[in-house]
Homo-oligomer: A and B are copies of this chain.
Amino acid sequence: MEVQPHADGKEAAQAERSRDILDAAINLFADKGYGQTEVQEIADRVGVGKGTVYRHFGNKESLFLAAVAHARDQLIAAVDVVQSSEADPLVQLRSCMTAILRFFDAHPQVVELLIEERALFRDRRPSLFFEHDEQRRREWGQRLQGLIEAGRIRNLPVPEIQDTLSRFVFGAMFFHYFAGQAPPLADQSQVLFDVLFYGLAAERPTRAES
């Protein structure tokens, strides 16, 4: 994929170095916390001078935010992989949710990063990580509407279903993390999904859902 030999070679080298810095940053910020991580350490781990880090990201805060965005992109990529390989929307839904749980099982540092983000930028809300991707939300809205019309899921307000799903999956992840339970969460989620799809109650009310 590396094309132009010269000018772009430089640019590519720069881009790669940026990525290296971000990777180091994610791990260190997640491991020791924003406050306990010195920019010097990040530079050391990458093997460059402190000044270089500053040249690439301007200041510590920007570096942190870029690291969060980088992590988010990784999650999106991980979900996109499974999503594209599924046809049935209901199966797809479950696959995506599992993919999300798996991602956090595999990258617990990202949870730490999210916590740090909220602790640090308490005013900046919503989280950079959860910033609405309207495009994606609309797509899923259509799929859910389709499922309702196909009689496969109950006829509840689509936006609320979406919120419930998010609360369900990210919420499970957060609580799992806060309560200090051991990964993997994805494998413990049988019952979670069972309840999500079929509910807790033994009998459904004969009539009127709302």
Contact = CB atoms under 8 A, between A and B. Distances in A.
Interface of A: 31-35, 112, 114-116, 118-120, 122, 125-127, 129-130, 151-154, 156-157, 160-161, 163-164, 166-168, 170-181, 188, 190-192, 194-202, 204-205, 209-210
Given A33-B120, A170-B178, A210 B197 contact: no
Per assembly, the copies of the chain total 4
A204 to B, nearest CB: 5
Contacts of A32: 122
Given A171-B172, A174-B170, A179-B127, A194 B151 contact: no
Contacts of A116: 119
Contact of A127 (B152, B178, B200): B178
Contacts of A126: 178-181
Among all A-B residue pairs, the 3 with the closest Cβ atoms: A171-B171, A126-B180, A199-B199
B119 A33 contact: yes
29 contacts: A33-B122, A35-B35, A115-B118, A116-B119, A118-B177, A118-B178, A126-B178, A126-B179, A127-B178, A130-B179, A130-B180, A154-B198, A154-B202, A156-B195, A160-B191, A161-B191, A161-B195, A164-B192, A167-B172, A167-B176, A167-B192, A168-B168, A168-B171, A171-B173, A171-B174, A190-B210, A191-B210, A196-B199, A198-B201
